[in-house]
Amino acid sequence: MSEALPLFFVSAMGLSLLLYVILDGFDLGVGMLLPFGTDAEKDVMIASIGPFWDANETWIVMGVGVLLIAFPKAHGIILTALYIPVTIMLVGLILRGAAFDFRVKSADHRQPMWNKLFALGSLMASMAQGWMLGAYITGLTGDPVSLAFSVLISLTLPALYIMLGGAWLLIKTEDELFDKAAHWCRLALPPMAFALLLVSIATPLVSQDIADRWFKLPDAIGLLPIPMSCGLAILGMDWMLRRPRVLHAGYGWFIFVALMVICLMAAIGLAYSIYPDIVIGRMTLWDAAAATESLQFIFWGAIVTLPAILGYTLYVHRVFSGKATELSYD
């Protein structure tokens, strides 16, 4: 039991962060795309994420929460090392969360300003998360190579979010905005593919250990489905985004699903690379784990609540399914 608990929690953390990337990814993406819509389109774009963004952001609180609950020793190391990007991300998240409400509740002539702040906050948070990811997978060393790599990821991770945002709009919107969303997805696809490639190349370079795991036969053959499914997903998206008729026939959701596959594969790949470390090269998850009785106490809570959370998250998405309509409190 005590051996399995850290594994359970590291999986819960991975799942939370994966859900965060997919869910808040789409609303951060919509945020970054906001400046490119007309005023009427901006309202629709905001309406498409209105009922969800708050719950979406809770997944990062959950992710960092599990890190804190289950791996308190790693929590401090990771977050102190990421002090600056975390601050930038938080300022970004605050800006966009506030702007979301202020844009319709402040004076009318201020709306353009809040729209800009909404986009800026989304961009800041996305880039900061890229920086955090880059710094984390290069071992939180802070050396120039790691820094350069972090900058590269921070420039390219937003492309993934923009894709997710565009794909979300393909599900939630119609007509001209739909066509625009398809166009935005087409533009974001190459940088996103590049970002994915970068991460894949960098991780084995960071440590010989990781390289051995990926390029040793016969394991390498077993791992092939990961790069292959990512490649297929990218090719499939590229194919479909060039064919507006297919998209219009109601297959827009395919882009979102393909992106989910990519996120899932990236998560599995990353987990395979770093397991059993929690701070790469420094601390395993067993070293960082909290006391067994504490983990047990929260384990039972998680077993009961997590399915409920997933259940009512699905329920809320069902209530607001279909094309986005104007947000009304009435």
Partner 1 sequence: MELDPFVLSRIQFAANITFHILFPTITIGLGWFLLFFRVRFTQTQDMYWEHAYNFWVKVYALTFALGVVSGITMSFQFGTNWPGFMERTGNIAGPLLGYEVLTAFFLEASFLGIMLFGKQRVSNRTHLISTFLVAFGTSLSAFWILALNSWMHTPAGYEISEGQFFAESWAAIIFNPSFPYRFTHMMLASLLTSAFLVAGVCAYRIRKGVDGPATKMVLKSGIYTAAIVIPLQIIAGDLHGLNTLEHQPAKVAAMEAVWETEQGAGFTLIGLPDEDARETHFAIKIPYAASLILTHDLEGEVKGLNDFEAHPPVAPVFWSFRVMTGVGTLMLLVSWWGAWQLFRRDKLSSLALRSVSLMTFSGWVASVAGWYVTEIGRQPWIVQGLVSTTEVVAQHPSATLAGTLFGYVGLYLALMIAYMKALRIMAVKPAKSLEEDSNPLGTPLVGTAA
Would you tell me which residues interact with partner 1 (CB under 8 A)? 50-52, 54-55, 57-58, 60-62, 64-70, 72-73, 75-80, 82-84, 86-87, 90-91, 93-98, 100-102, 105-107, 290-291, 293-294, 297-298, 301-302, 305-306, 309, 312-313, 316, 319-320, 327-330
Give 59 or 149: the residue with its C-beta nearer to partner 1. 59
Shortest distance (Å) from residue 314 CB to partner 1:
10
Q: Quick one: the chain helix, strand, coil %, rounded to 5?
A: 85, 0, 15
Give 222 or 329: the residue with its C-beta nearer to partner 1. 329
Shortest distance (Å) from residue 211 CB to partner 1:
30
d(CA 232, CA 220) in angstroms, rounded, equals 18
Give 263 or 290: the residue with its C-beta nearer to partner 1. 290
Q: What is the DSSP letter of 108?
A: G
Question: For residue 236, which amino acid is it?
Answer: G
Shortest distance (Å) from residue 82 CB to partner 1:
7
CB 121 within 8 A of CB 95: yes
Shortest distance (Å) from residue 96 CB to partner 1:
8
Shortest distance (Å) from residue 203 CB to partner 1:
24
Give 187 or 309: the residue with its C-beta nearer to partner 1. 309
Shortest distance (Å) from residue 312 CB to partner 1:
5
Give 171 or 262: the residue with its C-beta nearer to partner 1. 171
Alpha-carbon separation of residue 198 from 26, 48, 243, 248, 268 (angstroms): 22, 31, 28, 33, 16
- Can you tell me whether residue 217 is helix, strand or coil? coil
Q: Strands 283-284 and 277-279, how do they pair?
A: antiparallel
Give 111 or 203: the residue with its C-beta nearer to partner 1. 111
CB 104 within 8 A of CB 329: no
- Nearest Cα neighbor of 248 from 187, 168, 179, 188 is 179
